Each structure stands twice: as structure tokens, then as C-alpha cells.
Structure 1
Amino acid sequence: MPADARKTSTASSSTAPANLWEPNPRATGLRRRIGEFVLSGPVQSFVLAVIIINAITLGLQTSDAIVDTLGGFLLVLDIAAIVIFVIELALKMFVLGRRFWPDGWNIFDFVVVVISLIPAVGDLTVLRSLRVLRVLRLVNRLPQLRRIATAIIKAIPGIGAIAALMAIIFYVGAVMGTSLFGEDFPEMFGSIPTSLLTLFQVMTLDNWTTSVVFPILDVHPGAWMFFLPFILISAFVMLSLFVAIIVDTMLNMNESTRGTVAAPAPIITKTQPIVVRDVPSTSNGRGDLDDAAALREELAALRKETAEIKELLTARRQ
């Protein structure tokens, strides 16, 4: 094959993958054009604005006075938002195909939109309150929020271990509290479940002195030796561990999930690149000779410094 032909084939093969659409390389023609439109910045910004407006609308619908005045208008806005969400979701499922489902955020959007379509009648009335979950779609649209949510999800194993340790501490405290104070204060430590609820109130520091500790101290003056260690361990140490695990996960997280295929490139935590300077060389190899001479001079200087250090050490020993 001639050299020009080889260069042409190589160039064409190297540029062919660049023509593929990254969110779904199989999408071509009309499907790709629809995908580029749906996942474009202006459309995603429009959907973000609709989510914010819909969140405000859901909040206003909780006021009877506002519903009596603007009930019909708010209902139209709510229906319009649902229609926009359904159209966006359907188009994304069409253009992404199988690539829609591996993304957890897309599944979350799908579940939220499906819940919005379920009629809130009969036993399904409780689903009406779940409409507010649409606001959580903001997490999928904002990279900063998506990064925090990803860090929390990745920190779940560590948080689970701390939660297990806290459960053991609570159980030990509940058994001790029931044994020590159950007879005199059955309303707070009469049983294990009651003791767990009381200890949870103590951990949250919610009115724990006047309603729990002080009445017990009037009968058991040494009860502070039980409550103070429990508060220090449960309220301060455990909370600090929770925060430390999440922060450590965010620091060690090299990249975030894709959240939405509108931004298919993951967020990479950039590190300082290693810069390697090329030594200029000429056809006669003069650059290599100069570089070798510089290295020999550096080695000679290092040997001289090493010899001086050895002399100093020998003098100190003597």
C-alpha cells in the first residue's frame, strides 16, 4: 500500500470514533439530533427552571388561602410541569436506549415521574405528598450537589459500621438505664424500647437536662456518671465520626458519577501533571553530549558533598 494511502486510512480510522455521539454511540441520524437537542445546555437549563417553578408551586398549594385564589392557575402549572417531565424522560429513554438504565440518577428521575402520574385517590392519596420528590431532581442537575450526594452514597459502608457501633452503645445504655432507673422512673426507663427512646432524646440534647437528667439526679445523685459518658460518646464522638467519614470520602473521591448524560464526561479531580522537558538534540547528537556532561557535573558535586558529610561525621565521632 502506498504511503499516502496508509496515511489516509490511518487518519480516517483515527477520526471515525470522534464522530460518534458520546452519550450513545449507536444513536445516528434523527435519533442523535433529538438527543443532542434534549441533552443540550439550554434545554437542561429550561428543565432546571421548570423544576424550581414546580417546587414553588407545590409549596403554594399547601396554603388554603392561596389555593382559593390561585388554585386553578397553580393546577395548570403543575400539569404543565408533569407534561414537560414526561416528554423529557421519554425522549431521553428513546435517544439513550439501554444506556439510560445503568445511570442511577436516570432511574431516580423515572421513579419520580412515574409517582407523579399515579392518581392520588383512595389508598394512593399518600402518594400525593411524594410529588415533592421532584425537587430532588435538582441534585441531578447541579454538579456540586451531585458530588455531595455521590460522596454520601459512597460513604454508606463506613456510616453503616458507625451506626452498628452506635446501636451496640444504645443497647448497652438501655439495659443499664432500665436496670438502674426503671423502678423509680418507669415512664422513661420502664422497658428497653422506652429506654432507647429516652436515650435518643438525651443524644439529641433536646431538653435532656430538665426533663430527664435533673429529675433522676434528685433520686440518684450518682446518675451523672451514667449520662455524661453516654452524651460524650453518642452526641459528640459519633457525630464527629460521621462527618469525618463523609469528608474523607469527598477528599478521596477521584471522580463523580455522570448524574445525567447531558454532561457525559466525569468530573475528574485533577492532579499536578509531571512535566518532562525534552532535551533538544541535533542531528550530530550534540544535545545528548551536553546533557551527559551536565549529569556528570551533578554527580561529581554530589560525590563531593557526600565526602564532606562523611568527614564531618568522622570528626564528630573522634
Structure 2
Amino acid sequence: MSFAHFAKVFNDPEVDLEDDVWAKKTGARWDREFHRFIRDVTESSVFNFIIMFTIVCNALCMALETDISIRESGKDLFHILDELFLAVYTIEFIMKLYAEPKGYWFSSYNLFDFAVLVISYVQIILVLMNAGGSGLAALRILRALRTLRTLRTVSFIRGLQVLVTALLDTIRKSVLNVVGLLLLLMFLFGIMGYYFFGYKDDADKQNWGSLDKAMLTLFSYVTVDGWTDIQESLDNYNMDGSRIYTIFFIFLGHFIFSNVMIGVIIMNISEATENYAAEQLAEREAALKHKKEFLLQRQHNEVKQMLEKQRRGKYSNFHEMVQEFEDTLRHDDFAVVSDISTNLIWLDTLLTSLDHMDNSMFRVQQLHFELCGALSQMLDEKLRAKYGT
């Protein structure tokens, strides 16, 4: 990887540092540079912002179209805007498909976007064919399905993706079992309710007259919505034991099964949120590691270049070379803690050692002074003894 490529990565953090590995995997392309440019564009935050802005504007237009007066007065404008939104979605699809011809189809969010795009084009085809009868009914359904475009915001917001994925996984793995057991319980209680409260001629046929009516009534018990009216109707028919039946099923269906379902969903969403936070931390650490590696490589290259210039005699002295190296340093450069010169423990040990060296030097100097004083005194005594004073 060249220095110019490192510089590009440093100036644009969104660029992947593993472009060379990616190039080896995708193979050589005659349009490699343009393909990389399109891939960088589709992964940029500006591109995502444009698509998100388009989705929001499209949602507002669909909301305004629900007003009859606004829809009639701005019919042509809404048609032009709808064509414009569809053009933006089409361009997005083409660019993403060109950037990742195979990987595009492995994302469930991309498949959902493609399905919404196909629905929009089917609607246009039906309009151009002037379909009548069943075609108009299908057209109304397709127009109603245009609201699915607003759900495309999920594919651009990572937090929503985590929640939706956790919810779908919960439904697929756990909630279906709970719902199946609840339906079985409703089936059993529905049959019992039919024979208890709807089998006789003078029974409550409106709520318990058949199995489907009984299960619909039990669903009201599960949601505890309007169950008092149903119980009042049973009381009017003088159904003995109806209150025990109602209370027992509400206890099982609402207080147990509903809360179990909610608890399972909350646990899975909490686990998914924790995993998402861990992934974000790992991504930040990986990005920081890549930037540190780049900074080390850049500094090593600059030192090599300056040493080469020094060897060729470009600098008059070493101080000039160091001064130029200092000018290349930036205030946002990372300090690589793995280097011994920036390790805090090593620096503290070095400073402590220097203090000890100063103390030892001071004591050695004092010892030298005392030694010199003792030698001078001995010399004076010998001179006095020899020559006398």
C-alpha cells in the first residue's frame, strides 16, 4: 500500500484500509477505479443522507395526499414528485448493485428495498396498461403498499436494524412457541366455552355460538379489552360458573402468556443491544488501530526521507533536520503507548532513576571534597614535621 493511499485514508476515515485485500477478492476489473469510486459513494454518509431525505420527503407527500383537497389541487405536482422519488430509488439500486453485484442480494434490507422498487414499477405498468376491474383493485393495493417505502429508513439506521433483527429473531425462535401454546389453550377453552355458554338454544350465541366466535371472544379476554361487556352478557343469560371461567382464562392468557411473551422480547432486545454496543466498541478499536498503524508508517517514512536528505547533505546540521521533522508533526497525532518512549511506567521509572543518580552524584562529590580535605591535611602535617613551622 503506497504512501499516497495512506494519505487518502488519513484524510477520509470512511475509506477502508483493506482495499488491497478487497481487490484481490473481487479480481481485476477494467473499471476498477470507477468501481471503487461508486463503492465509496454508496458507503458515504452524504449518500445515505440524500436517500434518507428522499424517504422523509416521500413520506410527507404520501401523508399530504390523504387530504382530498390537497390531492386534487396538487395532483400533477404529486405525480411529478412520485416519479422523482422513484428515479432516486432506481439510481440508488443501480449504484449499489454495481458496487456489489453479488453481495447486494445477501442483505435482507437490500432485498426489501428491491421488493418495494418492483412494487412501484408494477404500479406504473398497470397505470400504463389502463387496467380495469381487478386491475384497479390491484392498483389500489399497490398504491397502499407504497407506504412500505417509509420502512426503508430501517436499512439506514443501525440502531433500528438491531431492534428489528432482535424482534424477528425473537418471533422466529421463542414467540412462535408461546403463541402456539396460547392458541392451543384458546382452542381448548373455546370448545369448553361453546358447550358451556353457546350450545343451548337460550345461550349466548353472539359470543359463544361457534368455535370461531368463542376464540374471538377469548382473544378479547387475552387483551382484556371489553371483557366486562362479555361477562355482563353471560350474567344476563344466568350462566353458572361463567365468572370462574372468565377469571381463570384471563389469568392464564393475559397475566401469564402475555407477560411471558413481553419478557422474552425484552430479554432478546436487551441482548441484541449489548451485542451491538460490543460491536461498536470493536469497530472503534479497529479503526483506532488502523490509524495508529498509518501514523507509525507515515512517521517512519518521514524519518527515512529526512535521514536520506541528511545523508545527501541537504541539511547543514542535525538541528535543522530535527526542526523540519517537528514541523511535520500534528497536534492530533496519536501517541503510541506501545512505544517505550511514551510508556508512563517507563517514564516514571526513568525520572526516579535520574533523581537517584543526582543524589548519588551529590554524595560522591561530597565524598571527593572530604577526601581532598583529608589529603590536604595529611600533606600539611608531613610538611610541618619535615621542615617545622
Q: Is this contact kept in 2: 1:170–1:199, CA < 8 A?
A: yes
Query: Structure 2 CA distance, aligned partners of 1:21 and 1:115?
Result: 37
Q: Deviations over 1:89-143 (max 9, x none)?
A: 1110111110111111111111011111112541531212101100100111112
Q: What SS does the aligned partner of 1:206 have?
A: coil
Q: Deviations over 1:258-296 (max 9, x none)?
A: xxxxxxxx971659x9xxx9998xxxxxxxxxxxxxxxx
Query: Structure 2 CA distance, aligned partners of 1:37 and 1:45?
Result: 12
Counterpart among 54, 58, 83 of residue 58 in structure 2: 54
Q: Is this contact kept in 2: 1:24–1:96, CA < 8 A?
A: no
2:217 equivalent to 1:178: no
Query: Structure 1 CA distance, aligned partners of 2:47 and 2:19?
Result: 22
Query: Structure 1 CA distance, aligned partners of 2:35 and 2:42?
Result: 11
Structure 2: gaps (5+ residues): 3-15, 286-342, 347-389
Query: Structure 2 CA distance, aligned partners of 1:23 and 1:140?
Result: 26
Query: Structure 1 CA distance, aligned partners of 2:44 and 2:54?
Result: 16
For 1:1-318, list aligned pairs within 5 A.
Answer: 18-20=18-20, 26=26, 28-119=32-123, 120=126, 121=131, 122=135, 123-125=137-139, 126-156=141-171, 157-182=173-198, 183=200, 184-210=203-229, 212-218=230-236, 219-253=238-272, 255=275, 268=279, 270=281
Q: How many Å apart are 1:198 and its aligned residue?
A: 1.4
In proportion to residue count, which structure has more helix? 2
Q: What SS does the aligned partner of 2:63 have?
A: helix
Bigger Cα displacement from structure 2, 157-166 vs 227-236: 227-236
Structure 1: gaps (5+ residues): 1-7, 9-15, 257-265, 281-318
Query: Structure 2 CA distance, aligned partners of 1:215 and 1:23?
Result: 73
Query: Structure 2 CA distance, aligned partners of 1:24 and 1:130?
Result: 42
TM-score by length of 2: 0.60
Q: Is this contact kept in 1: 2:222–2:250, CA < 8 A?
A: yes
Letter in 2 for 1:52: V
Query: Structure 2 CA distance, aligned partners of 1:248 and 1:269?
Result: 20
Query: Please, what is the CA RMSD of the aligned residues?
Result: 3.0
Q: How many Å apart are 1:23 and its aligned residue?
A: 11
Q: Is this contact kept in 2: 1:166–1:238, CA < 8 A?
A: yes
Percent of pairs with identical residues: 23
Please tell me whether Structure 1 or Structure 2 has the larger radius of gyration of its CA atoms. 2
Query: Structure 2 CA distance, aligned partners of 1:18 and 1:198?
Result: 60
Distance 1:39 1:106, change over 3 A: same
Query: Structure 1 CA distance, aligned partners of 2:167 and 2:54?
Result: 26
Q: Is this contact kept in 1: 2:35–2:99, CA < 8 A?
A: yes
Query: Structure 2 CA distance, aligned partners of 1:55 and 1:22?
Result: 37
Distance 1:214 1:21, change over 3 A: farther
TM-score by length of 1: 0.72
Q: How many Å apart are 1:22 and its aligned residue?
A: 6.2
Q: Is this contact kept in 2: 1:82–1:116, CA < 8 A?
A: yes
Distance 1:154 1:24, change over 3 A: farther
Q: What SS does the aligned partner of 2:155 have?
A: helix
Count of residue correspondences: 254
Query: Structure 1 CA distance, aligned partners of 2:240 and 2:259?
Result: 30
Q: What SS does the aligned partner of 1:75 have?
A: helix
Query: Structure 2 CA distance, aligned partners of 1:41 and 1:48?
Result: 10
